[in-house]
Chains A and B, each alone.
Chain A
Amino acid sequence: AQSVAQPEDQVNVAEGNPLTVKCTYSVSGNPYLFWYVQYPNRGLQFLLKYITGDNLVKGSYGFEAEFNKSQTSFHLKKPSALVSDSALYFCAVRPRYNNNDMRFGAGTRLTVKP
């Protein structure tokens, strides 16, 4: 069975510092990988995805994620955090052969302090 793990419930960083939100997965084959962000009382917003090709994926709002096949990880990164980046972040995986089988991690709450 496929699964997604976000090992940190909470990540705190200072504004201007780099941030990393971790994600590891267990899926057979080569899945599609996604990051979503959720602001209070809002739906999930798509940030970026990995389909194939370059292991470093660039997305919205200056976020990027690095796919590491050997470590089955897809960590979200940003070189310089903003206070407005504070939100709940979800990693998700989906098998290539099944459009509707999207599995989400439990989420990581990112807090960026000024």
Chain B
Amino acid sequence: GAGVSQSPRYKVAKRGQDVALRCDPISGHVSLFWYQQALGQGPEFLTYFQNEAQLDKSGLPSDRFFAERPEGSVSTLKIQRTQQEDSAVYLCASSLVGGGRYNEQFFGPGTRLTVL
């Protein structure tokens, strides 16, 4: 596709439910990032993949958060036993190669998660 896509766009979960958020990066992009954007804040880094390898997961707030990218393309962010503080917009971004000075990140529209 032309850009990064994410699904679902909106997700409402009851506290304690598990959710799975999907990201389809731009075709051919090696790097994939997940961010969490709380209301009124800028995006905060969660985790980073280079191809299928998860190179940095230092931003994941707890062990309830898990991300994977098994074939180096589509990625899924899973949140287990959701809590109200998990309510946020989850943004996915991809960039062309793993490093380098000219690589800007291209963002998807985000998934707005509301935990009741």
| A4 vs B44: C-alpha distance when bound (angstroms) | 12
B residues contacting the other copy or chain, number (CB 8 A): 30
- Cβ A104 vs Cβ B102 within 8 A: no
When A100-B33, A106-B40 are in contact, do A44 and B48 touch as well, CB less than 8 Å? no
- Whether A104 and B107, one on each chain, are in contact in the complex, defined by CB atoms closer than 8 angstroms, is no
Q: Which residues of A contact B105 (CB under 8 A)?
A: 46, 102
What is the minimal beta-carbon distance from B9 to any residue of chain A, in angstroms?
8
Q: With A49-B104, A99-B98 in contact, is A107–B109 under 8 Å at CB?
A: no
Chain B, residues 34-52, CB within 8 Å of chain A (1/0): the string is: 0000001111110010000
- Asked if A99 and B99 sit within 8 Å, CB to CB, the answer is yes
B66 sits at the interface (CB 8 A):
no
Shortest Cβ gap from B23 to chain A (Å): 11
Q: Given A41-B109, A99-B103, A104–B42 Cβ distance below 8 Å?
A: yes
Q: How far is the CB of A105 from chain B (nearest CB, A)?
A: 5
* Nearest-CB residue, chain B, relative to A39: B109
A34 at the interface (CB under 8 A from B): yes
What are 30 pairs between A and B in contact, CB < 8 Å?
Answer: A34-B104, A36-B107, A42-B109, A43-B91, A43-B93, A43-B107, A43-B108, A43-B109, A43-B110, A44-B91, A44-B107, A46-B104, A46-B106, A49-B104, A51-B101, A90-B43, A92-B42, A99-B48, A99-B95, A99-B100, A100-B33, A100-B48, A101-B45, A102-B33, A103-B45, A104-B42, A104-B43, A107-B40, A107-B41, A107-B42
B interface list, Cβ under 8 A from A: 4, 6, 9, 31, 33, 40-45, 48, 55-56, 91, 93, 95, 98-110
